[in-house]
């Protein structure tokens, strides 16, 4: 059974940093692209960042570019999101998401498994 | 990035009704359009991929159609479990962008 378990969320002041983690199990982690998707309270889904199976290709949403860093440790079957210079508008539930594809750019791709999310609240 | 626009933003229906949700892309995404269902306080779940392919375990009352820029999700004989928010997502052009969601509520 595929499981994605996020951790690391919490209350943080604007301008500070936070690191999210996602522990994966039930599939061959290093075969797949992984993503972070967030959802602000009462709002829709916003894709945040993607990292290919090798970790060599990384993409960010414009809203987080230069502030967030995605990474992965295939040996530990873990995905990470380092979030710096946090803003109030980064407040959201952050989901760890598995792609059905290794690269994340297959035209017929989709997100086939989601974690339950970890809540990040940016407030003074 | 490709912009995805869903309509309506919300709709209400009775159990047993047939409902249709539309999704429009700002440019052609061929037939690479996915649908997700998000029940309250739950993570999204893949329903349909590549316009019309049901994910394993999804009931056959769900169907998808369309191509190019215009797509629809249809739910026949709406069941109590179906009251949720639905999101479309294009996968043709990276990044895989989402629509803003359509909330289906019980009438």
DSSP string, chain A: --EEEEE--EEE-TT--EEEEEEEESS-GGGS-EEEEEE-TT--EEEEEEE-TTS--EEE-TTTTTTEEEEEETTTTEEEEEE-S--GGG-EEEEEEEESSSSS--TT--EEEE---EEEEE--
Mean pLDDT, chain A, integer: 95
**Res A106: pLDDT:** 79
Q: Is the pLDDT of residue A105 over 90?
A: no
**Res A22: pLDDT:** 98
| Arithmetic mean of pLDDT, A17-34 | 96
| Arithmetic mean of pLDDT, A101-119 | 89
Q: Which residue has the tokens 């999700």?
A: B73
**Res A103: pLDDT:** 81
When scoring A40, A68, A110 by the number of chain B Cβ atoms within 10 A, the one with the most, hence best to mutate, is A110
Q: What would the pLDDT profile of B76-106 be if each residue is shown by its tens digit? A: 999 999 999 999 999 999 888 999 999 999 9
Percentage of the residues of chain A whose pLDDT score is greater than 70? 100
| Arithmetic mean of pLDDT, A80-105 | 94
A40: nearest CA in chain B?
B100
**Res A28: pLDDT:** 96
Query: Read out DSSP for B58-105?
Result: --TTEEEEEETTEEEEEESS--GGG-SEEEEEE-SSSS--B---EEEE
Distance from CA of A60 to the nearest CA of B (A): 9
| Arithmetic mean of pLDDT, A21-46 | 96
Listed as own residue / partner, the contacts of B75-83 with beta carbons closer than 8 Å and 24 or more positions apart are B75/B18, B75/B19, B75/B20, B75/B104, B76/B18, B77/B16, B77/B17, B77/B18, B78/B13, B78/B14, B78/B15, B78/B16, B78/B17, B78/B18, B78/B19, B78/B104, B79/B15, B80/B15, B80/B106, B81/B39, B82/B37
Integer Cα distance of A104 and A89 in angstroms: 26
Of B46, B50, B100, the CB nearest to A111: B46
- Under an 8 A CB cutoff, do A110 and B89 touch? yes
Which of 86-115 (A) contact B at CB < 8 A? Answer: 95, 104-112, 114-115
Q: Is the pLDDT of residue A107 over 80?
A: no
Give backbone dihedrals phi and psi of A88, rounded to 5 degrees, phi first.
-55, -35
CA–centroid distance for A42 within its chain: 19
Could you tell me if A72 and A33 are in contact, meaning their C-beta atoms sit under 8 angstroms apart? no
pLDDT band at A109 (very low <50, low <70, confident <90, very high): confident
Q: What would the pLDDT profile of B19-39 be if each residue is shown by its tens digit? A: 999 999 999 999 999 999 999
Q: Which residue has the higher pLDDT, A98 or A109?
A: A98
**Res A104: pLDDT:** 77
Mean pLDDT, chain B, integer: 96
- Under an 8 A CB cutoff, do B89 and A44 touch? no
Alpha-carbon separation of residue A12 from A56, A70, A82, A108, A122 (angstroms): 30, 19, 13, 38, 5
């Amino acid at each position: 059974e595929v499981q994605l378990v996020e951790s690391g969320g919490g209350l943080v002041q604007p301008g500070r940093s936070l690191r999210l983690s996602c522990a994966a199990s039930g599939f061959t982690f290093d075969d797949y692209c992984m993503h972070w998707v967030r959802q602000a309270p009462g709002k829709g889904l916003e894709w945040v960042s993607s990292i290919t199976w090798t970790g060599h290709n990384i993409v960010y949403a414009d809203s987080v570019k230069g502030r967030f860093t995605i990474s992965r440790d295939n040996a530990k079957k873990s995905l990470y999101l380092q979030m710096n210079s946090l803003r109030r508008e980064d407040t959201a539930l952050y989901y760890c998401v598995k792609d059905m594809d290794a690269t994340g750019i297959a035209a017929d791709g989709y997100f086939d498994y989601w974690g339950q999310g970890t809540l990040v609240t940016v407030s003074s | 990035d490709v912009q995805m626009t869903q309509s309506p933003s919300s709709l209400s229906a009775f159990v047993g009704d047939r409902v249709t949700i539309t999704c429009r892309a700002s440019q052609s995404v061929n037939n690479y359009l996915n649908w997700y269902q998000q029940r309250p306080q739950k993570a999204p779940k893949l329903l349909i991929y590549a316009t019309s392919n049901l994910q394993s375990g999804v009931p056959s009352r769900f169907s998808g159609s369309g191509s190019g820029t215009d797509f629809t999700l249809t739910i026949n004989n709406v069941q109590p479990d179906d009251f949720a928010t639905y999101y479309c997502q294009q996968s043709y052009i990276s990044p895989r962008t989402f629509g803003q969601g359509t909330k289906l509520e019980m009438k």
